[in-house]
Amino acid sequence: MSRSAYVTDLRSLQGECSANYLRLMRLLGDLEAGESREVELVSQGRRLGALCLKLQERAPYTSIVRVSQRGVLDAMIETPRMRVHLYHDVRMAEVTDFQRQRHFDGRYRYPNARMHQPDEKLQLNRFLGEWLDHGLAHGHSLDLPQLP
């Protein structure tokens, strides 16, 4: 029984990156380079922590955002954090650093030494999308316009 090689799904990856760009632009608003925004996450009246966004760099064609989370379990587990590059000319956002690991290939042979999934890059960008969607759906920030 032969296994076929994983083929990168560029359409899904580009779609995810485009949707993440729109989500991030909505959450970042008018932040300038060096500024941060925290979106408090609340569900059924319970405070779950905060989605933290820091605009590290802003240029005409690209920006770099640090996305992290702080919450009630900070002392027990390592909270997720990533660096995301926003490409304004093509309106896409791509995860370029996750938990201090940089440069993710479009596909990996499996198994591999670091145990990356064959579609690791797509999974990281999907995770960012789910994380940002959660922030938009359950977030509250005093300096943001009301999130629907």
The Cα–Cα gap between 47 and 51 comes to 12
76 or 136, greater pLDDT: 136
Q: 38-96 pLDDT, tens per residue?
A: 999 887 888 878 999 999 999 999 999 999 988 766 666 677 889 999 999 999 999 99
Please give the Cα distance from 132 to 130 (Å, whole number).
Answer: 6
Predicted local distance difference test score (pLDDT) of residue 130:
94
Residue 147: pLDDT over 60: no
